[in-house]
Structure 1
Amino acid sequence: MVAKDVARLWEELRHRDPEEKLGWITQLAQNPSEDSIEVLLDVLQQESWFLRDQAARVLATMGEPVLGPLVEYLGSGLWYTRASAVTALGRMGNPRAAAPLVGMLNDPNRTVRDAVWDALLALCRNELATRELAQAFDALPERARRFALDGLLERDAEAAGQVVLYMEEAGGTLIAPRLGGAVEGRREDGPDAGRRKLGVADPEYPGRLRELSSPPDPLFLTGRWDHPGSHVAIVGSRHPTEDGCDVARELAGALCERGAAIVSGLAQGIDAAAHGGALDAGGLTGAVLGTPLQEIYPREHVELQGRVARSLGIMTEIPPDGFATRNTFAARNRMVAAMGDVVVVVQGALNSGALITAEEAARLGRPVAALPWDSREPLGEAPHALIRSGRATLVRNADDVLELMGRKAPESGVSLGNGEDKFPTGNTASRRLAPNVAIPLHLTPIEAALYRALRERPLPLDHLASAASLTASDLSIALLALELRGLARRMPGGLARRISSARLARDAGTGR
């Protein structure tokens, strides 16, 4: 590529729309030269995250010629340029990037620091780079060294253990006390302990996935995934209501107590609640990821993902050097459907990814279940649509789910709780139905007791009377007072529900 062409590309990158810029970046990747490197480095200083990310990917493939310039960009005054340079260095995997990246752990910008941790974990896939990383850690002052080792341990115990072993081999001066178990595990199991790569023909390949028209091949996973009992996939919105999370958590726990294992996608919202409910009940749960195994997404799930990985396990079709896109998250839904013997949709809007999972389950011949919600609840749209169209069976509790799978439910009639009666009474009901909610001002003690017992999903009046320790007369008076204040609504069939603060605000805004 001649200088005149590069100059033209430079102007295009500065002044044209993002799609054209992306086209030029692709062209530069196909014609690497000193001039094209200069243009790509300039892209790292542009405000478009998408273009910077694409440029970083291209630069990472160019090897040694871009190492020096990228290290220089670590000192940029623009935080997003520093973050993009860090990302490119991590993807490049050059051992010489280890020391400069470790030096960025104290960057004042959190996004940059997060990118540094991702880059360091990427370097740990390469033995030589891991040794360089160990040397860089060992060269840090004691306090900084402890911080770096503990930070790596929190994100990947295996990588931290390997770094410590290399530090020991080189006569390192400090091993963080928390790393003892990780070091022993690495000595015994090697650098890839727990992570496996399986082909469809492998005897350990999960049989349920073979039923897909395009089973993931290869499959990357941890754990055994050999639970002999039923697998129940629980899916739903990433932004559910409080009740949606409660129902998912309680349903997962109740199913685990009956011997089932829970499968979901480790996303925010319903997925996380289902995984958490299974773990809290002492049951098994596994996750299908839309990212490589070593990545944590969302970041706040670092602890949850670790617990799930140590339970049934985690799996993905994205290779370690791959990356997540919108399509990879949508594609993983088919794997969630395949790994479940039944799919339960808890909450979701009409464009929810849970519907993709339900459709795939139907194609595989798996039963689909959905929970009913108040007709005014927007996140009830997906389950209601499935039920109305006959594509899903209405279920109320764990027993209904087991019955749908052809398993006999226990005679105790347990609902969405942990071994409690379908309509609990007394102190048990108070524990289940007294969420930690803010009580509106100016309520009488009786009204406050009822408000605390109410939930966003409809509950029987006798159930509420027991939960709030109210007589039928007191309940009727208190419920009327809450209705007049717009805090509750009486429903047909002897039911009542609390009005959420979000709905109150929405109704106030529309004048209803």
Structure 2
Amino acid sequence: MPKIWEDHSNYDDAHPREAARLAALWERQILTRRGATTLGIARSVREGRKLVEILAEELNAVNEVRPYAKAERLGIVPVPMDAPEYPPNLLSYGYGEVYPPLVLFRAGKPLDKVLRSPIAVVGTRDPTDQGREATRRIAALLAGRGHTVVTGLAAGVDREAAEAAARAGGAVVGVLPHLLDGPSALSRDAHLLFDLAEEAAVVAEHLLRDPAATRQRLAARNRIIAGMSHAVIIPETRYRQTRWGTKYQVQFGIKAQRPVVILRPQTDQRDVWDAYEFFEREGAHVADRPEEAVELAERLARLQPSG
């Protein structure tokens, strides 16, 4: 179980219940059913308004918050859009098609303590040996230059990136489709990350696992990975007709005007080249070496290395 990180400088005594009510509101999709999106809400938050004021009418209908109180005992904290630790990049994310979550669930360190000029590293679950090596090099470089690595923690490129960044002493934020595999069981992927990294957090838009919604949630979480990051790097991916998570990642990133950098394949495998050519047509920037990929992402996102 992760340590329950408390940040009394950010939150007052009313925060746990207010956050739990907002989480219940979001999970029950009350806003979606009423035809609303979070884009206007995010704009109001950026202007300084509080969610309990903006959503006062909707929150009056929410009374049952016990699942969220129980989650807090497991080290999971609801992070509403107006919380100080909510990723600032997400507040300005969305152009009518992509919207930020009203609430994130977080385990591990507070996001404002662990997100430092974050860059996402994502890709195939089945990388070649060259792809694995490139991923490790990219993640280690990012960690050494002071960037938090944001990734989905799936097997393959995502997990290699998390492990390499952690070994290099860097911070890692994992974005999952849900945080609880059962009523009292933190996600295995979350445990994996906490075993790897001291400077780590995991976040999800949803608290509980829902097998019927897994595919939809996996696709939707990609907008959070791209949205909280300044840039996205793809060391290697494989072309797929369906259920291609990296495709969503690139499309979400480009829609949000995040630079997307893809590494030129170091293999002759056709599906790797097909994916590379597809993303190049979509607007991804091309790098020939891991060092170039990192420097290009920094330059395009106008970031300065701090490591």
Could you say which TM-score interval applies, normalised by the shorter chain?
A: 0.5 to 0.7
Q: Match of 2:102? A: 217
Letter in 2 for 1:237: T
Greater per-residue helix proportion? 1
Checking the alignment, whether the CA contact within 8 Å between 1:287 and 1:308 is kept in structure 2 is no
- SS of aligned partner of 2:153: coil
Letter in 2 for 1:326: R
In 1, the alpha carbon distance for the partners of 2:186 and 2:208 equals 14
Aligned pair 1:347/2:236, yes or no? yes
Q: Match of 2:279? A: 386
Checking the alignment, whether the CA contact within 8 Å between 2:219 and 2:245 is kept in structure 1 is yes
Letter in 2 for 1:354: T
The count of residues paired between Structure 1 and Structure 2 equals 225
Q: Match of 1:79? A: none
Pick from 309, 313, 334 the counterpart of residue 223 of structure 2.
Answer: 334
Q: Could you report, residue by residue, the CA deviation over 1:27-56 in whole angstroms, capped at 9, with x for unpaired residues?
A: xxxxxxxxxxxxxxxxxxxxxxxxxxxxxx
Q: Match of 2:85? A: 204
Q: Match of 1:117? A: none
In 1, the alpha carbon distance for the partners of 2:175 and 2:136 equals 18
Pick from 296, 302, 320 the counterpart of residue 208 of structure 2.
Answer: 320
Checking the alignment, whether the CA contact within 8 Å between 2:118 and 2:147 is kept in structure 1 is yes
Shift of 1:289: 0.2
Letter in 2 for 1:292: L
Letter in 2 for 1:392: A
Aligned-pair identity in percent equals 29
Which shows bigger deviation, 214-223 or 265-274? Answer: 214-223
Q: Match of 1:175? A: none
Q: Match of 2:43? A: none
In 2, the alpha carbon distance for the partners of 1:294 and 1:255 equals 30
TM-score, with structure 2 as normaliser: 0.64
Shift of 1:340: 1.5
Shift of 1:228: 6.0
Which of the two has higher C-alpha Rg? 1
Letter in 2 for 1:304: L
Letter in 1 for 2:91: R
Shift of 1:204: 2.5
Shift of 1:399: 4.5
In 2, the alpha carbon distance for the partners of 1:282 and 1:270 equals 18
Checking the alignment, whether the CA contact within 8 Å between 2:137 and 2:290 is kept in structure 1 is no
Pick from 164, 170, 179 the counterpart of residue 283 of structure 1.
Answer: 170
Q: Could you report, residue by residue, the CA deviation over 1:281-339 in whole angstroms, capped at 9, with x for unpaired residues?
A: 1111111001234568985x465232367523000011237555111111101111112
Structure 1's unaligned 5+ residue stretches are 1-123, 128-158, 160-190, 411-418, 420-512
Shift of 1:126: 8.7
TM-score, with structure 1 as normaliser: 0.40
Letter in 2 for 1:239: D
Letter in 1 for 2:230: D
- SS of aligned partner of 1:347: coil
Greater per-residue strand proportion? 2
In 2, the alpha carbon distance for the partners of 1:297 and 1:243 equals 33
Q: Could you report, residue by residue, the CA deviation over 1:163-194 in whole angstroms, capped at 9, with x for unpaired residues?
A: xxxxxxxxxxxxxxxxxxxxxxxxxxxx6263
Structure 1 residues 297, 334: closer, same or farther in 2, change over 3 A? farther
Shift of 1:365: 0.7
- SS of aligned partner of 2:73: coil
Shift of 1:382: 1.8
In 1, the alpha carbon distance for the partners of 2:102 and 2:138 equals 32
In 2, the alpha carbon distance for the partners of 1:366 and 1:246 equals 25
Shift of 1:409: 7.1
Q: Match of 1:304? A: 192
Q: Could you report, residue by residue, the CA deviation over 1:59-109 in whole angstroms, capped at 9, with x for unpaired residues?
A: xxxxxxxxxxxxxxxxxxxxxxxxxxxxxxxxxxxxxxxxxxxxxxxxxxx
Structure 1 residues 314, 237: closer, same or farther in 2, change over 3 A? same
Q: Match of 1:229? A: 116
Shift of 1:246: 1.9
In 2, the alpha carbon distance for the partners of 1:394 and 1:198 equals 35
Root-mean-square deviation (Å)? 3.1
Letter in 1 for 2:231: V
Q: Match of 1:405? A: 298
Checking the alignment, whether the CA contact within 8 Å between 1:209 and 1:339 is kept in structure 2 is yes
Checking the alignment, whether the CA contact within 8 Å between 2:125 and 2:155 is kept in structure 1 is yes
Checking the alignment, whether the CA contact within 8 Å between 2:146 and 2:305 is kept in structure 1 is no
Structure 2's unaligned 5+ residue stretches are 1-66
- SS of aligned partner of 2:111: coil
